[in-house]
Structure 1
């Protein structure tokens, strides 16, 4: 039995007259309600009655029920049935009823009347809907319950049932089946079944090769959610130059999501905020964490959350956070979190509600979801955003030191299949003082374009040096903005992500300014 089974059973036993079950999985919701109903009372005095606009009232036990072609008629007939048999523990399920309670005052009034009438009976009413947007008039009469996406045990049982049903050749061990089911975490039961079925049809056998295929299906489904994007663990620590203090912080927490850490008494890490100058590697660092910890990486695009319909933005966020919790342990990368406050209050309060929901969830979440929030404009964030409890640490990514610039040049030359030993990397590092990692990468790319157009020939140190001379770094073009951000670090508001020497230099600068 899952948590949603327990919650439904508790509310039904407490004789709550109306439950709003928020889910997109209508068929699974009905099956769970029937399981709860049978577990509670398998006798003839209990039935599951479902109504929808196309089929009217239908009994799970095959009873003959009156015609109810309209929502108004359905509510009237349910009231009559409940009054005629007040001792029956029937569950009445209304599908898609949000379509009617928002459009018709008469339906809304009848629904309230029915909820009040059911208080004196053992019957209960359940509305299945994709949205938690309940009319204010009904708020006092209903319990809203979110139905979570299927967990690993449910997906594993569905996979085993599908293998048995199709009699497909299966070369997976028990551990392999668990890994295949785990690859589908974050999908609805129907989506997972389609992914499994596609894997079966592809080559008429289930084996280890089908795990990446199911992951690809999950990426496509998550992408369709409009706000989430699934990233593979492709970046490694070697792809990120410098930031040694940050890397060491991450290495210390690498195994903190396992059972051994929990037994030791360690809580799972909550998250980190990456603040700093654009181009210093905040996004690359977020991607690297997923690879270092071997965890799924989900990117939440805050800008994509906002929709034109009332409640749409909040609904997209709620679904995105639900997916992250189901996929956990995972890394949730909230890119440019300050974008959620970009409207300046001109959107009827939607951005403030979305931002508040994110902060509340970060504070109260219990699932092992490690949040990596990046921000370029710390001034746009409310002060409470970065406080402890939401993040374990706040790191500032400053202009790279000379040693870090050597690492960054090495990374990008090697990334483009060039031997760093063939270049005067120390000379380039000295020349690039004030350049961020993205600008150093661009200098290498520009040098390659020139070498290709002139031959093609291989690039040299001089090619990269000339490319550096042509670039105008951000530290010059936006000097004031960069200095404001660096002052934020010198004020001691964050931990430097760079070498200990860089952190000490920042502290020394503070002392000089105070002297």
Structure 2
């Protein structure tokens, strides 16, 4: 008996009269209820406005053709008062929440059937129930199928068709892992599509299933599935952070679990805008070969009471189901800026996320990025939420060289054709995003000049046309660096490796002197 079945069995033995099952998988939920009733020798009937009553287990003398909700509730009450122990499963009954007579009748029936052996079960895709029924009902969330259940779905599909399988046992595990996070129905359809498209079940199926899952995750309102090919070479500098990540590259493997290592919880990256925080989040996904989910916190907020919290729980549950994965929360300080006009909704959503970050059991690695440290709540930054907090500073000389090489190669230019020493010197005080933009601007300049090849001079001209953040945001950068010097975070970069490289304070001093 799985966790859901155990929960349901406990509630009906405790004589709970109204049970609300929250799930988009109506068929799977009813199958679980039916299995429990068969094991406990309980009569179980379903009801909906189209088919009336349908016997799932046992026998009954009810008028099965009843399609009126008020009459149906009368019959449920009459049967329940006989203490027969019947379980009634009402499909789509949430459609009647807005009907006052039906809502009142349901509440009255539930109250009169208290402590009888009869239970009314309502399946609904949302966790919103009327205020009048809040005290009468218990809510069970049916979790999406785990790996074992998805493997059973795959096995059932393979038995029903003459399908060729070109997979080893580990390969089959990867197919099931690729489907994690889907409902049973979604997984069945995707498995079928993979078989029809590829003509068999093989390694190509894994890629196809992953692509289909990306589409399904994007329908979850607040989660975005990102495909990324970024590697450690895609990010210039940040040696300390890269070494920290490489040390934990195999942390999600079975060998790590057998060794006794817990899965890493996550990191927070704070610091100057344009230093590569977002790119690093994508790089982690590529380095560890784990799916990357971006949490769109703005999409968590709904207009109805409790809807925002419900969306948050659903999004986090999907992330847990897909685990191991990377959950990226970009500019987290803006996402949870508390306002006085939302009746505390943002605070409740933030509290839900904090609790989940502290207590989550599944290997979801959280990557939070932030630019404005002052806006970050202290409870977010304390130890236990993240494994480490990294500060991303202005790139030093060695890092600027790496950044130039990375972006020149990305645009099919050989770094040997440029005076890197001069470029590195001219880019003193520039962040990675500004260096990238200077190269792009230089390419536009050369392209408009009869499509000639770009030169070092083009890039230097483009650099000089920019006003770097180290100048325009001098006060903010000084504040951020003071935060680092107070020991509140670890620098993501090693000290400058080139002789004569000025320290952070010297760079700002030189900028101020030039001004």
TM-score by length of 1: 0.91
Structure 2 counterpart of 1:513: none
Offset at 1:149?
0.8
**1:283-322 Cα shifts (integer Å, max 9, x gaps):** 1111111111121111111122223344332232222111
Q: Contact between 2:15 and 2:115, CA under 8 Å: does it hold in 1? A: no
1:464 aligns with 2:474: no
Select 2:345's aligned residue among 338, 343, 350.
Answer: 350
1:142 aligns with 2:137: yes
Offset at 1:158?
0.8
Offset at 1:63?
4.4
Structure 2 counterpart of 1:283: 278
RMSD: 2.3
Structure 2 counterpart of 1:65: 62
**1:121-149 Cα shifts (integer Å, max 9, x gaps):** 22222221122223343333322111111
- Counterpart Cα distance in 2 of 1:40 and 1:481: 66
Structure 1 counterpart of 2:511: none
Gaps of 5+ in 2: 508-515
Seen in structure 2, the aligned counterparts of structure 1 residues 48 and 500 have a Cα distance that, compared at 3 Å, is: farther
- Counterpart Cα distance in 1 of 2:130 and 2:361: 29
- Counterpart Cα distance in 1 of 2:496 and 2:438: 26
- Counterpart Cα distance in 1 of 2:141 and 2:84: 28
Structure 1 counterpart of 2:128: 133
Q: Contact between 2:338 and 2:347, CA under 8 Å: does it hold in 1? A: no
Select 2:96's aligned residue among 87, 96, 100.
Answer: 100
Offset at 1:233?
4.2
**1:235-270 Cα shifts (integer Å, max 9, x gaps):** 111111111111121122222222332233322111
Structure 1 counterpart of 2:3: 3
Gaps of 5+ in 1: 510-515
**1:23-74 Cα shifts (integer Å, max 9, x gaps):** 1111111111112222333xxxx22211223322221147453244233222
Structure 2 counterpart of 1:373: 368
Structure 1 counterpart of 2:314: 319
Structure 1 counterpart of 2:51: 55
1:437 aligns with 2:443: no
User: 2:160 aligns to what SS in structure 1?
Assistant: helix
**1:203-251 Cα shifts (integer Å, max 9, x gaps):** 4333221211111111111112221111234111111111111112112
**1:441-461 Cα shifts (integer Å, max 9, x gaps):** 111111222222223232222
Structure 1 counterpart of 2:72: 74
TM-score by length of 2: 0.91
- Counterpart Cα distance in 2 of 1:25 and 1:105: 27
Q: Contact between 2:324 and 2:364, CA under 8 Å: does it hold in 1? A: yes
Offset at 1:486?
2.6
Offset at 1:506?
6.9
Seen in structure 2, the aligned counterparts of structure 1 residues 419 and 443 have a Cα distance that, compared at 3 Å, is: same
Offset at 1:327?
0.5
Structure 2 counterpart of 1:37: 37
- Counterpart Cα distance in 2 of 1:348 and 1:55: 42
Matches within 5 A, 1:204-223: 204-223=199-218
Structure 1 counterpart of 2:510: none
Matches within 5 A, 1:414-425: 414-425=409-420
Offset at 1:115?
3.0
User: 1:150 aligns to what SS in structure 2?
Assistant: coil
- Counterpart Cα distance in 2 of 1:259 and 1:10: 34
- Counterpart Cα distance in 1 of 2:267 and 2:198: 43
Structure 2 counterpart of 1:16: 16
Q: Contact between 1:490 and 1:507, CA under 8 Å: does it hold in 2? A: no
Residue-pair matches, total = 501
Offset at 1:87?
4.1
Select 2:191's aligned residue among 186, 196, 219.
Answer: 196
- Counterpart Cα distance in 1 of 2:84 and 2:54: 20
Offset at 1:349?
2.3
- Counterpart Cα distance in 2 of 1:260 and 1:177: 19
Q: Contact between 1:184 and 1:214, CA under 8 Å: does it hold in 2? A: yes
- Counterpart Cα distance in 1 of 2:232 and 2:89: 52
Matches within 5 A, 1:79-478: 79-84=77-82, 86-88=83-85, 90-101=86-97, 103-342=98-337, 344-478=339-473
Range 273-282 or range 339-348, more displaced = 339-348
- Counterpart Cα distance in 2 of 1:76 and 1:348: 39
- Counterpart Cα distance in 2 of 1:176 and 1:274: 35
- Counterpart Cα distance in 2 of 1:508 and 1:133: 58
Range 136-145 or range 214-223, more displaced = 136-145
User: 1:169 aligns to what SS in structure 2?
Assistant: coil
Offset at 1:371?
0.6
Structure 1 counterpart of 2:512: none
Structure 2 counterpart of 1:512: none
User: 2:328 aligns to what SS in structure 1?
Assistant: strand
